[in-house]
Amino acid sequence: MDPTFLSATQLADLVRTREIGALELLDHFITRTENHDPRINAVVVRDFDRARTRARQLDSQSDKSAPFFGVPMTAKESFDIEGLPSTRGHMAAKDAPVRKSSIAIRRLQAAGAVLFGKTNVPVDLADWQSYNPVYGATANPWNTDHTPGGSSGGSAAAVAAGLTGMDIGSDIGGSIRVPAHYCGIYGHKPTYALLPNYGDPTTSSAAGTDISVIGPMARSSADLAVALDILAGPDPDETAMTMVLPPPRFTSLKELRVAVWAEQPGQATDQETTARLLELADALQREGATVSRTARPAFDATEAYHLYLRLLDAGWSGRSTEDVIARKRQRAAALAADDHSADAIMMRMVDVTHRAWLGLNEKRFQWRRAWSAFFREWDVLLCPVIATAAMPHRQDGETWDRKITIDGKQIAYNDQLFWPGLTGGYHLPATAAPMGTTKAGLPLGVQIVGPIYGDRSTIEAAALLEQGWMGFKPPPGW
């Protein structure tokens, strides 16, 4: 059996039943990486020797019950792995290996995973492209003229191309969901703070970043469910408390109450994306699901989106250098009063006071409760992941200077933040799952959103769609 495009749980079963050894499986993915990664440049940090030592140890181990036993995996470059650098795209950190692995990495290793490399990112994890001065640019295996997304773009590309058994990414503005959508794989953005990720104190924040989360990226929904069990729960260095997530609210499509939000006035969304999502809604209705195409939470969507943008800019402002802050101040001062683009809204946050932020946070939690009320009536919400399928590569200056064209209309590059932010900004779990392809052959994904701590429900909905609608398909030629 060719293991290339099997799920991580299937790979673990192969090793567990001794149909293949852990070292033999690892060497299969290392060989694929050496032979095929030059086409996309996804696995940019390689740790093959230590991985082989680890695989040999697993092969000699009698207890093979760990859920990801012997599964070769990669991780987003920003995750701390002892002995490897975490550059986040900065050349100054290239030769500075960290001394302690992130909690998530340690939990995956305890679950039997064999980490053999790290995957590419944009500088400071702040783009839907994945390129940086340290490791160069990563391409989409479906069409190498297009981006795999960002910031977990290398992760998605490696999983889709069959270079790794699974990966793990992070998300503040769609950075798990968008690459999963662009590359035709599964990705889960969990409820905020459910999956801790503290690592080396010199490279990771003890406080974390508002909105930002980590989560698994894989070729099946089953892998997301297993990874959630492994990765969820408080940092054991802080507390011995454990957490039990509620089970899925449904077990079949007939039990499913689903709201569909396929488009939003004033927010550009590609017609192919909208049409495919409405086709999915029709199919769910035929299967007996209760479907609404008009149900919405009780707030103004544009105001909620703008609030997310303000919180996003405040959240990642700690990454900004003094030079970037100075340029943002200059741009903010020159903005027209009627400029309500995403960039303008974020630019105006450059010198926000803590008191003002507290007011924004209070409004966020009020609307988070509105989301909770909405999800008392509906099990999941289906909506686009982002405005289009994978874009061509864009490496022209700052993101706030770029424009893209959607169905003949030019918009600002960062005005695509509506769909990622409307859900992510309110700490909701969301699973990205394959939904189809465009006429040009690029993947389309659906964003499956659920209530706070409803992670099992969004992943279960992805599993039902995987069985009844569409699952992962390898990109042609891989």
Asked if residue 424 has pLDDT above 90, the reply is: yes
The Cα 284–Cα 132 span in angstroms is 42
Which one of the listed residues 86, 102, 155, 175 is annotated catalytic? 175
Residue 311, in any domain of the structure: no
pLDDT of residue 1: 85
- Does a cis peptide bond (omega within 30 degrees of 0) precede residue 151? yes
- The answer to whether residue 48 is domain-embedded is yes
Look at the block and give the residue holding tokens 């389309």: 444
Q: Is residue 455 part of a domain?
A: no
Q: State the total domains in the chain.
A: 1
Residue 319 has pLDDT above 90, yes or no: no
Is the pLDDT at 320 greater than 80? The verdict is no
320 included as an active-site residue: no
Q: What is the pLDDT of residues 86-107, one digit of tens each?
A: 999 999 999 999 999 999 999 9
Per annotation, catalytic residue among 151, 212, 220, 317: 151
Please give the Cα distance from 30 to 426 (Å, whole number): 39
Does residue 428 sit within a domain? no
- Whether residue 169 is contained in a domain is answered as yes
Euclidean distance between CA atoms 15 and 64, whole angstroms: 8
Contact status, residue 74 vs residue 145, Cβ threshold 8 Å:
no
Q: Is residue 20 part of a domain?
A: yes
DSSP letter (8 states) at residue 316: T
CATH code, 192: 3.90.1300.10
By DSSP bridging, strand 257-260 and strand 290-292 are parallel
Angle between helices 22-36 and 8-16 (to 10 degrees): 140
Cβ atoms of 146 and 438 within 8 Å: the answer is no
Q: Is residue 345 a part of any domain in this protein?
A: no
Backbone φ and ψ for 235, nearest 5 degrees, come out as -65, 120
Is pLDDT at 188 greater than 90 in this prediction?
A: yes
**175 part of the active site:** yes
* Torsion angle of C-alpha atoms 335, 339, 342, 343, degrees rounded to 10: -20
Q: What is the pLDDT of residues 133-177, one digit of tens each?
A: 999 999 999 999 999 999 999 999 999 999 999 999 999 999 999
**CA distance readout (Å), 419 to 129, 210, 309, 388, 392:** 17, 18, 12, 11, 20
pLDDT at residue 268 in the model: 95
Q: What is the mean pLDDT of residues 330-348?
A: 92
- Whether 292 and 260 have beta carbons less than 8 Å apart is answered as yes
Task: Tell me if 223 is assigned to some domain.
Answer: yes
The region that residue 381 occupies, defined by phi over 0 for left and psi between -120 and 50 for alpha, beta otherwise, is beta
Q: 76, 118, 189, 328: which is the annotated catalytic residue?
A: 76
What range defines the domain where residue 231 resides? 8-251+463-468
Render 54-106 in DSSP notation, one character per residue: HHHHHHT-S---STTTT-EEEEETTS--TTSB--TT-GGGTT-B-SS--HHHH
Specify the range with the lowest mean pLDDT, choosing from 148-157, 324-333, 372-381: 324-333
pLDDT of 227: 98
- What is the average per-residue pLDDT within 59-84? 98
Percent of the chain whose predicted confidence (pLDDT) is above 70? 100
Is the confidence at residue 322, as pLDDT, over 90? no
Give 106-137 pLDDT, tens digit per residue.
999 999 999 999 999 999 999 999 999 999 99
- Rounded alpha-carbon distances, angstroms, from residue 358 to 206, 298, 311, 365, 424: 21, 22, 10, 11, 19
